[in-house]
């Protein structure tokens, strides 16, 4: 995934005058203009926080990170707890809540699920616009009574995922979770909207093999890679096994057993 926004015309705008100071701050931080006559995307600041809106007559609705309501809340309350496939993939078990690095955090959905199950999470999102959405969503989640204890277990790191992993300082994560960009075929409207929005900005992940190599070098216990169910494995070492779901699978690269 590219470190900088792709060659798209993007500007920042306030949805109300009261949010203009925040819009100016985001524009300065991200190096984006506040005005653009023929923009393709707008990073908007409003009552519901930060959101990314594709412009044009056929554009889908805005995308924002929301850990309090919507899909994140439903999955937190009714998602199946530690019986979920992602929980099994990272090694959650009775008495085991590994420290996990999500090196391709995106909108933070998977990281939030794991944090809600008790894992201490580190997140890296190297695309600045998506990182900004994630930062804003975490800040708003910290203000909610029920969600605050969960996002307190989520630490957002900045930088290129491969470089951050290669230069890691301190105790390494027990598990590293990767979900590289891939030509997804999921058919839900939400995924379609997000993929339609993000693909012009971030493209695919041609450096996925280097991402896997860095993860395998750093993780103390295992690396987990999420892939579309019928997609090939990432080039490089082969996983020992995989957990298959309806539309995706988790390739498992074990190094050491996780124990209580």
Which residue in 155, 152, 97, 91 sits closest to 125, CA to CA? 155
* 122 DSSP β-pair partners: 101, 155
Say if residue 20 carries a ligand binding annotation.
Answer: no
Euclidean distance between CA atoms 15 and 13, whole angstroms: 6
Say if residue 194 carries a ligand binding annotation.
Answer: no
Say if residue 199 carries a ligand binding annotation.
Answer: no
Q: Packing angle between helix 128-141 and helix 189-202, nearest 10 degrees?
A: 130
Q: For residue 172, how far is the Cα from the chain centroid?
A: 20
Which residue in 201, 246, 240, 200 sits closest to 221, CA to CA? 240
* 102 DSSP β-pair partners: 123, 177
Our CA dihedral for 6, 121, 110, 180, rounded to 10 degrees, sits at 40
Could you tell me if 162 and 211 are in contact, meaning their C-beta atoms sit under 8 angstroms apart? yes
Q: Specify binding-site residues for S-adenosyl-L-methionine.
A: 125-126, 179
Q: Specify binding-site residues.
A: 125-126, 179
């Amino acid at each position: 995934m590219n470190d900088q926004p792709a060659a798209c015309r993007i500007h920042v705008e306030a949805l109300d005058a009261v949010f203009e100071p925040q819009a100016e701050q985001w524009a300065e931080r991200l190096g984006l203009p506040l005005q653009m006559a023929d923009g393709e995307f707008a990073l908007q600041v409003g009552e519901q926080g930060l959101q990314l809106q594709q412009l044009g007559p056929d554009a889908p609705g805005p995308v924002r990170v929301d850990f309090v309501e919507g899909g994140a809340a439903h999955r937190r309350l009714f998602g199946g707890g530690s019986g979920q496939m992602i929980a099994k993939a990272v090694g959650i078990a009775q008495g085991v809540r590994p420290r996990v690095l999500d090196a391709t955090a995106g909108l933070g959905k998977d990281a939030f699920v794991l944090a809600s199950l008790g894992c201490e999470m580190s997140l890296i999102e190297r695309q600045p616009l998506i990182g900004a959405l994630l930062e804003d969503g975490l800040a708003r989640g910290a203000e909610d009574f029920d969600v605050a204890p969960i996002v307190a277990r989520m630490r957002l790191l900045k930088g290129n995922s491969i470089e951050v992993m290669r230069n890691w300082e301190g105790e390494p994560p027990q598990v590293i979770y990767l979900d590289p960009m891939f030509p997804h075929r999921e058919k839900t409207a939400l995924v379609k909207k997000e993929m339609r929005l993000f693909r012009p900005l971030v493209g695919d992940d041609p450096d996925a093999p280097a991402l896997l190599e860095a993860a395998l070098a750093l993780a103390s216990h295992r690396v987990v890679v999420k892939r579309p169910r019928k997609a090939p494995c990432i080039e490089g070492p082969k996983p020992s096994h995989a957990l298959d779901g309806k539309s995706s699978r988790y390739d498992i690269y074990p190094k050491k057993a996780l124990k209580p």
